Amino acid sequence: MSTIGIIVGSTRPGRYSEQVAHWVLDRAQGRESRYELVDLAEVGLPHLDEPVPASAGQYAHEHTQRWSTRIAALDGFVFVTPEYNHGIPGVLKNAIDYLYREWNDKAAGIVSYGVTGGARAAEQLRQIAAELRLATVRAHVPLSFHHDFREFTTLAPEPHQESLLSDLLGEVEAWTGALEPLRKAA
């Protein structure tokens, strides 16, 4: 059975990422893969402080080694990201940049949120993922503050978002399985 990490991509006080990530986790229960939360607020990585580029795989710090072990153990991902100033949060970019090979040959889906559904953050994340040989799936769940959050605070996704999320999870599971031979060969 594959294990898919749901990455909570914001550490901001009062963040909505937790609500969204728990919604994803709740909807993922009983599927073909096992899902677990990876909360960047709990990981607590400092600003990138490794002296050698991540592609070398030579980690000097214990926090990087723990992060490496955590991400390497996962077979795929669902990134939950807000859109901050037309992009992903710095903490998410920082966490991604710490590693390289641990992301390779795995599948990822994106659940984004913001005034425009986090579309620009999702596109930025797709570009970053391509450089890491992380295969993003076509399905995307763009949650809008105007339509999917009551009074701009409480997650209440419109019914069509449930269908989009189901499609996204199915694609992540399928691609995770399809990429397994590449992960094993590495």
| Each residue's pLDDT tens digit, 42-51 | 999 999 999 9
> Residue 154 in contact with residue 19, Cβ under 8 Å?
yes
Tokens of 14: 């009062």
pLDDT for 95 equals 98
| Each residue's pLDDT tens digit, 53-80 | 999 999 999 999 999 999 999 999 999 9
| Each residue's pLDDT tens digit, 108-131 | 999 999 999 999 999 999 999 999
**DSSP letter string, 97-108:** HT-STTTTTEEE
Q: What is the number of domains present in the chain?
A: 1
pLDDT band, residue 171 (cuts 50/70/90):
very high
Report helix angle 119-131 to 90-97, nearest 10. 10
The rounded distance, in Å, linking the Cα atoms of 75 and 73 is: 7
- Is the pLDDT confidence value at 34 over 90? yes
Tokens of 71: 């991400």
166: CATH: 3.40.50.360
> Helix, strand or coil for residue 45?
coil
What mean pLDDT is predicted for residues 26-50? 97
Q: What is the pTM of this model?
A: 0.97
pLDDT for 186 equals 86
| Each residue's pLDDT tens digit, 134-152 | 999 999 999 999 999 999 8
Q: Which domain holds residue 51?
A: 3-185
